[in-house]
Chains A and B, each alone.
Chain A
Amino acid sequence: MTISRRNFLKVAGAAGGILLAGGAKSARTAQTPQTSSGGVEFNGMLIDTTKCIGCRACEEACNEENKLPKPTVSFSAESVFEEKRETTPDAYVVVNRFPNGKNPDKPVFVRRQCMHCTEPSCASACLCKAMEKMPEGPTVYHKDRCMGCRYCMISCPFDIPKFEYNSPSPFVKKCIGCYDRVARGEQPACAEACPEGATLFGKRRDLIEEARKRIYQNPDRYHPRIYGEHEVGGTGYMYLSAVPFRTIGFRIDLGTKHYPELTSGFLSAVPLVDILWPAVLFGFNYLISDREEEGGKESGDEE
């Protein structure tokens, strides 16, 4: 088979198209999502579990702010602490009670909500950018973009996004860090509602300073670790505790790598394969076509 000009152009065109598509993709994947090192100062929250009294004012405030349905059990009922709760499509923040290993008389209360990771796994997992990390700090959800594939739920190391399984037009629901309030310069509803000052809202850097100060000044009161400072590359919402985090429902095996990094190696290979594979295959094809033309007539087919 001879390569006519037209054939060549056809092949070159196809390869070029693939190249362009691959190139565009690689340019985007090379651009990592906003990082704190990229100059953006994210807001976050420091949750001091040693100060939390389990009053659930944060839950109530969250419920009002996000116009969620009222719970069946009132916010003042202590019975909810009898079992460990997860966030639900109707409750973006839940407080759990854990026994205190150091002081049995004083149980530990831990609130659970979106951690607003510095580089959120959910946002990098979403194929239509329904989850997005905002420069102000919150990771928000664009309901109009979501297709309900629930890959964010697979990817979230904290299992925070929740899905409305019983709706014909379901959304993913999670704490969005009171984005509207934060964008206006206010603090999230839960932080404002906390009567004990257990939740501190501010710039992430300042919060880490504050947390360190508390640990240094009260070494007996605090377990010497800030949960969320390094976990999964850093989270916006961070915790202090009197007891090891393992004992109060935190996963300590998540590592310090940010989650988008888990797939970035694979994704960066994509444009390479998209470009090199067709080139190699076309090469093969031409080589074999030529060989066939020369050898085919005398020796017949291979089979």
Chain B
Amino acid sequence: MKSNVTPMPIPGKPADPDTGTLKGFLRFLAQELKPRGKVLTPFNVVTGIIILVGIAIIAVRFARGLGAVTNLSQEYPWGIWIGFDVVTGVAFAGGAYILTFAVHILKVKKYEPIVRATVLNGFLAYVFYSGALLLDLGRPWNVVNPIIGNAFGYGSVLFLVAWHFLLYTLVLFVEISPAIADWLKWVKAKRIIQKVTTATIIVGVTLSTLHQAGLGGLFLTAPSKIHPLWYSSNIPVLFFISSMFAGFSMIIIESMFTHRIFSDRLDEAHRASHNKILLGLAKGSASVMAAYLFLKVIDLTHGHQLGLLLTPMGYWYLLEVAGFTLLPLVLYVVAIREQSTRLVQWTAILTAIGVILNRLNISVIAFKWYEAVRYYPSWMEIWVTLAVISMELWVFRWVITRMPIIGAPPDFTAEGGTLNNLDDAEVVRWKVSSRWKVSSSWKVSAS
């Protein structure tokens, strides 16, 4: 038993496709890859067109260079593919590390029902953002250089970010793999994964801390290029702290949509607990935002930048900090007092806008604010960004409709692995939703 270090698949129930053998696995996969439900929905058509055109733009980008599709210039080497897709996207993926920390390290059981969806969200975000990063690299085939070690740039913040980014993506994969094991009915593999859960999550929190901070740390090398209201030696800390409330707000927003779209997968108990969860997230968010604003004020006063507030860039800064950080903080407090989950959801959207503004300000808008000719993204840059998001949504939906992600996961809570066989897991799943009974027989689809 203990010699099984690598996950070893064992067959599920004989009636199902035997995912333990290669042939059975492939047959199962082929069956699962088929679309379910109506194909020509408005959402599918719109995102499908976005993705197709996006792929064409990407082809042009690789055939003719970055200049053919982007507005990047010698003055602005980084545009929205870095500033939005990577720098902003990673902040929003922060929900995964805070939530796994709360549930598995601090054992706050309340948030268990949303852990899997959040981790899935984080994992896909990382996969797609690193994908978007490859589009932006001039020589993406050399991306392995700092990994395979023919040239380790130890003194580079980007080196730190790249390594932590890569490792954390792997960690997120391990964190989401119990859902994959459930889906494939690889019971033994799941048991092995669960044994390393705590260690994985601790490594994940550590990696996240550093690379969320590191993304901010990247901009430390541009003190003369970033507007003094945004440049601060505290950028790494500010990025880390704001990644927490970015993550919280993303969890709230994501659950708004998944609960509406996949409501048939949820039972009443889950719905009731969800209100409590939202208010809890609001509390967490509010306290972190208060700390963040405190640091911002210290930066502002210590840097003697108060005079700059009365300039056009100052108004823009105030809009970000007061309008989209302080105001949401106040609204969160109100929502908590009124117990209003609706207000929590609206506030989460405001908070998310604030985070987007902050990341874009540091990486694009307040970067070289003094240049006569400013950078604006080309329509193709925006289009490709939308295509990346659309692809992510497709994969997210595919996973959610096939793996046990939303609702109470079968035996994620079991500390000592009480659910050792598939039947128990099935029972729990059946309890969670009657629809699960249908989909957990794996062959029946709603097509």
Contact = CB atoms under 8 A, between A and B. Distances in A.
Nearest to B145: A128
B139 interface: yes
B157 A125 contact: yes
Given A125-B158, A165-B65, A263-B157, 10 more contacts: A149-B137, A150-B138, A151-B218, A154-B225, A168-B63, A266-B157, A273-B206, A274-B210, A277-B206, A288-B105
Nearest first, the 7 A-B pairs at minimum CB distance are A148-B138, A165-B67, A28-B154, A150-B77, A127-B159, A155-B221, A147-B142
A288 B218 contact: no
B198 interface: yes
Given A267-B155, A288-B105, A277 B220 contact: no
13 contacts: A29-B155, A126-B156, A128-B152, A128-B159, A167-B65, A170-B139, A266-B214, A267-B217, A270-B160, A274-B210, A281-B101, A284-B106, A285-B198
Nearest to B217: A266
A281 B205 contact: yes
Interface string B194-232: 001011001101100110011001111111110000000
B210 A270 contact: yes
B287 interface: no
Interface string A111-130: 00000000001011111111
Interface size band for B: 35 or more
A129 B74 contact: no
Given A155-B221, A265-B233, A267-B160, A165 B66 contact: yes
Contacts of B416: 1
A259 B220 CA distance: 9
Contacts of B199: 10-11, 14
Given A148-B140, A266-B217, A164 B224 contact: no
Interface string A74-114: 00000000000010100000000000000000000000000
Interface string A188-215: 0000000000000000000000000000
Contacts of A142: 151
A139 to B, nearest CB: 14
Given A28-B154, A128-B151, A159 B206 contact: no
A53 B199 CA distance: 68
Interface residues of A, number: 72
B447 interface: no
A292 interface: yes
Interface stretch (A61-69, A178-186, A249-257): A249-257
Interface in A240-269: 251, 253-255, 259-260, 262-267
A130 B154 CA distance: 12
A288 B78 contact: no
Interface of B: 2, 62-68, 70, 72-75, 77-78, 101, 104-110, 136-140, 142-143, 145-146, 150-160, 162, 196, 198-199, 202-203, 205-206, 209-210, 213-214, 217-225, 233, 236, 415-416
Given A151-B218, A155-B222, A267-B157, A127 B109 contact: no
Nearest to B112: A303
A124 B139 contact: no
A147 B415 contact: no
Q: Which of B72, B108, B198 has the most CB of A within 10 A?
A: B198
Given A125-B221, A277-B205, A166 B143 contact: no
Nearest to B107: A288
A90 to B, nearest CB: 12
B224 A145 contact: no
B387 to A, nearest CB: 20
Given A88-B74, A125-B158, A285-B198, A262 B220 contact: yes
Nearest to A21: B163
B72 A147 contact: no
Contacts of A294: none
A260 B206 CA distance: 24
A6 to B, nearest CB: 7
Contact of A263 (B66, B106, B202, B220): B220
A8 to B, nearest CB: 12
A37 interface: no
